Amino acid sequence: MLDTGTAPAPETAPAADDDQNADGRDGKHARRFGLPIATALVMGNIIGGGIFLLPASVAPYGTISLVAFGVLTVGAIALALVFGRLAKRHPQTGGPYVYAREAFGDFAGFLAAWSYWITSWVSNAALAVAAVGYLDVLLPIHGSTFWTIVAALACQWLPALANLAGTRYVGAVQLVSTVLKFAPLVLVAVGGLFFFDADNLGPFQAGGGDSPVGAISASAAILLFSYLGVESASMSAGEVRDPERNVGRATVLGTALAALVYLLCTVSVFGTVAHDKLVDSTAPMTDSVNVMFGGTWGGTAVAIAAVVSILGALNGWTLLSAQAPYAPAKDGLFPAAFARKKRGVPTFGVLVGVALASLLTIYNYTAGSEGVFESLVLITTFTATVPYLLATAAQIYFLLSGQGHRVSKGRLARDMTLALAAFGFSMWLVGGAGYAAVYQGVIFLFVGVLVYAWMSARKNRQSSPAGD
């Protein structure tokens, strides 16, 4: 049975848990993740489809964007280390929800879970739309709205089916997809260094309008969101073997390896594709492969790699969309159905998440306006940072409150420095989301406040003695 905090689970919480199921087959299909699969989960969730467009996105700022990469990597590693510290002392499924609730109570924990849940299923809709864009290179379907919708829904439901089959299959799909998608990325990252031409780099600071600090901040605003997903292992800590050790290791390893891939791929593309062409490129990886090996086969290869990459990210994020409400549901802060597990997976959470993402995807293709969908995607860049801020604030609270069972006194200065750096990184993420996204994201959070009021009142009413 997985514990999610100091508060006891409400009486209405389901009795069945990880390996208890009516069909008796959970032991066969539910399997805890080891360090390799937990690391693959982090890497797979951080690196989705954005890597295939990232070099062109930052090219207008010049090679100074590589400096922004370095700054962001330090911040992401600091955040990863903080999650590792927190998971060591609270190795339960739920990640930021568990930490925020332990430090600040039910309401803060609920906000962390609610905002992360919104982020997960809206991001899944965005990933599916991105996958269809690459799939169109292989199977021309954009001419038909019907088949475009079918393809997007297939991209969502196939990973959902893998999740419903059990954690054993989630881990297998994640590991295979991570290996398959990194093969072409390593080809670009390493192969590009042999074809590197410094004349292709262009100016250090392109545009010339901003100061160096302004240029770094502007390029960082694009790069900031490429590191979302560092919390993946802590969100599924209850499904990781020896979580006190492996969650922290997987978080740091996955984040560091993802950062290395990002940086090497960007440097290689910068050095193989002429700057003036890269600025207008819609497929920078394809252009880089074509320069390295000639011909036009790179487009097909990159499209396949992108589809595999996005499906792998969808597989991981589908699990996270179910894990986000799982822990608060066990504590009576989400509907109890979200706490029911089968084959190690919260199946109701998987189905609700993929259903909401599917409805949003259909709306995107039928409403005739991409602005609404893009606004929702931008909102997720804000909602994703709310759990980060609450989790890092929880670590700062634990450090300052002198709770000996949670804090190692010998590491106080180091852990406080990491926590403050991670908090600053999270605030930078909020700034990068933009005013409109923050404004609309706050509205989403206030809707969650209404849900919290309902669930909290229901929980208190059920726990009160009859007649009170």
CA distance 34 to 56: 36
pLDDT digits (tens, 9 = 90+) for 252-307: 888 888 888 888 888 888 888 888 888 877 678 878 888 887 766 766 777 787 78
Q: What does each C-alpha distance from 266 to 249, 253, 260, 263 come to in angstroms?
A: 26, 20, 10, 5
Q: What separation in angstroms does the CA of 157 have from each of 162, 171, 351, 412, 415?
A: 9, 17, 9, 45, 41
pLDDT for the residue 296:
66
Question: What would the pLDDT profile of 371-428 be if each residue is shown by its tens digit?
Answer: 555 666 677 778 888 898 999 999 899 888 866 555 566 677 788 888 898 898 888 8
Please tell me the pTM assigned to this model.
0.75
What are the structure tokens assigned to 86, written together? Answer: 């927190």
Residue 407 and residue 250 in contact, taking contact as beta carbons nearer than 8 Å: no
- 397 within 8 A of 414, measured Cβ to Cβ: no
DSSP class of 331: T
Question: What is residue 8's DSSP assignment?
Answer: P
459-462: list long-range contacts, CB under 8 Å, 24+ apart.
459/10, 459/332, 459/333, 462/10, 462/11, 462/12, 462/332
Nearest CA among 345, 325, 320 for reference residue 335:
325
Cβ neighbourhood burial of 277 (10 Å; 0-12, 13-18, 19+): middle
The pair of structure tokens assigned to 384 is 């994703």
Dist CA 442 CA 239 (whole Å): 31
**Predicted pLDDT at 210:** 63
Separation of first and last alpha carbons in the chain: 32
- Amino acid type, 426: S
Both structure tokens of 395: 């670590």
- Spatial CA neighbour of 114 closest among 457, 380, 458, 424: 380
Q: Sign (positive/negative) of CA torsion 102, 104, 105, 109?
A: negative
Q: What is the pLDDT of residue 29?
A: 46
Which tokens sit at 213?
Answer: 């600090």
Per the document, the length of the chain is 468
- The pLDDT tens digits along the chain (468 residues) read 233 333 333 333 333 444 444 333 444 544 566 677 777 777 776 776 667 777 887 888 888 888 888 888 888 888 888 888 887 777 776 778 888 998 899 999 999 989 989 988 888 888 888 788 777 777 777 667 788 888 888 888 988 887 777 656 566 666 666 667 777 778 788 888 888 888 888 777 766 556 777 777 777 777 776 777 777 777 666 666 766 677 777 888 888 888 888 888 888 888 888 888 888 776 788 788 888 877 667 667 777 877 877 887 787 788 878 888 888 888 888 888 888 877 777 889 889 999 998 988 888 778 765 555 566 667 777 888 889 899 999 989 988 886 655 556 667 778 888 889 889 888 887 877 778 778 888 888 888 899 888 888 887 777 766 544
